[in-house]
Amino acid sequence: MKFEGTAVAMVTPFTANNEVDEETFRSNINFLIENGVEGLLAAGTTGESATITFDEQKKLIDILIDEVNGRVTTFAGAGSNSTDEALNLVKHSNDAGADFALVITPYYNKPQEHGLIQHYKLINDSVDMPIVIYNVPSRTGVDMSVDSILEISKLNNIVGIKEANPNVDKTSTIYKSLIENNLEYEFFILSGNDDLTIPLMSVGARGVVSVVANVDPYRTSQMVNSFMNGNIKKAKDLHFELYPLMKVLFIESNPVPTKYALNLMGKSVGHVRLPLGSLTKEHELDIEKCLRKLDII
C-alpha cells in the first residue's frame, strides 16, 4: 500500500476539564478533508502522544477512523519506547481499521541499530498491516542509519518512512539505496519537516506529514500536489508563501504555537498538557501577525 500527498499530523483538542474534546476533533477532521488533504494522523507527536493515556490514544484512533469513513487515508500514531506497548497500539490500529500505523523509533532509551531492527521486525511479524516508521532524532535521541532503514524496508509490512532528519543528503541517500535495491516503488518517503517538504520531494519523497496543514491545509496540499503534477514554479511559490508560517509554528515547542493559531482561528482546540506550557506573549503577537498576513484570520 502506498501514500502520496499531504497527511496532517493533527492536534488533540482538550476541553476545559482536560479531557479529549471529541466534538472539536471530529469538526477538525472535516475541516481538513474539505480543504483537500489526502491523509490524517491521530495521536502523533503533534497530537501530544507523550501526555495522552493509552486509552485516549486508542480513542482518538477510533474517532478518526469513524469520522473519516474512508474519505481519506488514516494514519494511527502507534509508537512507544517499549516494543510491547508499541505492538499493543499497532494491533489496536489494525483492529480499528487504520490504513497505516505510524511507529516512531523508541525514544529516551536510545536503542542500538540492531535493537531498532529487532523492534520493527517483531512488530512486522506480529501484525498484518502497513507500517510507516518515523525517524525524528531531535525528539528521540536516536537517528536511524540508512543501512538500517534499507534493511527494515525489506520487511513485508514496512511500507514507508516519515523522515524528520533535517539533512537533505540523508533522504537522497535513502532514495538512492531504494533504487539500487529495486524498492523505490515498494517503500515511500514522506517529509517530517514542513520547511523541507519541497527539497525532500526533489530527491524522492512523495509528500509530507505536516504540522502546518493544521492551520493552512489548502495551500499545503496545493503545494505538494503542484510539485507532484510537475508544476514546480507553483510549488516553489507556495513554499515561500507558507515559509513564514512554517517557521512561526515552531517558534516554541510543537504543538504549542499550532494550538494557539487554531484557537485564534476559532477552532477551540484548547490548551496543551503539562509539561508543555502556554505560549509566551511576544510569540503570540508573532503568530497573529503571520496569520493576518496570510489572510487566515
Alpha-carbon span 132 to 104, nearest angstrom: 8
Catalytic residue flag (residue 259): no
Indicate which residue of 58, 107, 120, 134 is catalytic.
134
Catalytic residue of the set 58, 162, 259, 267: 162
Residues 249-270 as b/e (b if ≥16 CB within 10 A, e otherwise) read: bbbbebbbbbbbbbebbebebb
Answer yes or no: 162 catalytic. Answer: yes
CA distance 120 to 133: 8
**What φ, ψ does residue 159 adopt, rounded to 5°?**
-115, -10
* Residues labelled as active-site residues: 134, 162
